Amino acid sequence: MADDGPSLTASSSEAHDRDRSHAWYKPGEKLELSPYTLDIFQNYTQIPADQVAAHIIRVREKAWEVYPYPCIGNFRFLDFAIIESPIFTTALSKLKSGGKYLDLGCCFAQDLRALVYAGIPSENLYGADLQSGFIDLSYELFKDGDSLKSTFFKGDIFDFSTFTPIRGNTSDQTLFQKIKGDIDIISARSFLHLFGPEQEFKAACQIVEILKDKPGSIMVGRQVGSFTPGIESISLAGREVFRHDPQTWKEFWNRVGEATNTKWDVQAKLLELSPDVKDSLKAVELSNIETRGWLEFVITRL
Ligand SMILES: C[S@@+](CC[C@H](N)C(=O)[O-])C[C@H]1O[C@@H](n2cnc3c(N)ncnc32)[C@H](O)[C@@H]1O
C-alpha cells in the first residue's frame, strides 16, 4: 500500500510523467494476489488462476499510461475495500432492495465489481470518473462488457453538466440528472484528498447533492490523512492539500453540513502506514511521512 497524495486532476495530468522508476510503481513480478483477488478474477472474470497475474499486469500498464496514480502503480486497485467495510452488510441489504450506489472517481471500479460478485443487481450500481480511459480499462480488467448492466459516467465532480453516460445505459443523456439526489451510497476512495482545501470542500458539497436527501444515505471511503492534521505541500503536484485526522474530518463535515443545510454522523479512524509504504514515500521525498496515515470513514446523513 502506498500513498495517493501526489495524484493530480485533469488540468495538471499532462505534466505528470509516466516514469516507471517512480517509487510507487511496483514491477509486475512483485505482484502478490490475495485469496479474494484470485477468487474474483477466477470466478467473476473467468480467468484461469495461472493467467490472472499476467492479465492484471497487462491492463495495469495501459492504465499507467492514462494517468500514473499511485494506486495503479502499486496495484492498490486490487484492494476490494468494500468487502471489509463496516457498511458491507448494510450496503448489501440497501442495494439488494433497489438502493443505488455510485463509485465516484471509480478508476477500475473494483468495489462495484465486488458488489456484483456478492449478488447485487448491477443495474443499481454506477461509476463516474474524469477519465473515460479508466472506465474502458475497467471492462478490460474484469472482462464483463457483455454482462455488466451498470452505467458509467465520464464527468468532473465540479461540474454536473459534464456527466455523460459512456458505458451501460448510454441512450439517456440526462440519466445523471435523474439519479442525482437519489444515490443511497457513494464510495469515494482516494478521491477528496486529491484536491486542495477549497476544492475539497466544493467536491464534498457536490457529493451531498448527489446523495439521497434522506437520513441513512452514506458516503464511505478512505484517503490519506495525518496524525498532525494541516496543510501539506505536495511538491510533485505543485499544490497544497489539507491532511485530516478524524477530528478535523468531523469539523470539515460540520462545515459541509452548514453550507448544504444537512447533518452528518462522521465515523472515522486513522490507521498507521506500514513501514514499507513509509520507505517508498521517503524515496520520493514526500513531506511529513512519519505522521501520515490512512483515514477511513463512514459518513451517514442524519
Ligand atoms: C487516486 S484515484 C482512486 C481510484 C479509486 N477510487 C480507487 O480507490 O482505486 C482517483 C480517481 O479520481 C478520478 N478523478 C480525479 N479528478 C476527478 C474529478 N474532478 N472528477 C471526477 N473524477 C476525478 C481520477 O481519474 C482517478 O480515477
Q: Where are the domains of the chain?
A: 81-301
**Does position 7 have pLDDT exceeding 50, yes or no?**
no
Determine which residue's CA is closest to atom 2 belonging to ligand 1.
190
List, chain by chain if needed, residues with CB within 6 Å of any ligand 1 atom.
4, 7, 9, 69, 71, 77, 105-107, 129-131, 134, 156-158, 189-191, 194
For domain 81-301, give the fold: Rossmann fold (3.40.50)
Determine which residue's CA is closest to atom 3 belonging to ligand 1.
190
**Does position 5 have pLDDT exceeding 50, yes or no?**
no
pLDDT digits (tens, 9 = 90+) for 58-104: 999 999 999 988 889 989 999 999 999 999 999 999 999 999 999 99
pLDDT digits (tens, 9 = 90+) for 247-271: 999 999 999 999 999 999 999 999 9
DSSP notation for the chain: ----TT---HHHHTTS---TTSTT---GGG----HHHHHHHHHTS---HHHHHHHHHHHHHHHHHH---HHHHTTGGG--GGGGSTTHHHHHHHHHTT--EEEET-TT-HHHHHHHHTT--GGGEEEEES-HHHHHHHHHHHT-TTT---EEEEEETTEEEEEEEEESS-S-TTHHHHHTT-BSEEE-TT-GGGS-HHHHHHHHHHHHHHB-SSTT-EEEEEEEEESS-EEEEETTTTEEEEEB-HHHHHHHHHHHHHHHT--EEEEEEEEEPPHHHHHHHHHTT-SSGGGEEEEEEEEEE-
**Does position 283 have pLDDT exceeding 80, yes or no?**
no
Distance 107 CA to ligand 1 centre (A): 6
Q: Determine what percent of the chain is predicted with pLDDT higher than 90.
A: 78
Distance 6 CA to ligand 1 centre (A): 12
Distance 50 CA to ligand 1 centre (A): 30
Determine which residue's CA is closest to atom 13 belonging to ligand 1.
105
Distance 106 CA to ligand 1 centre (A): 6
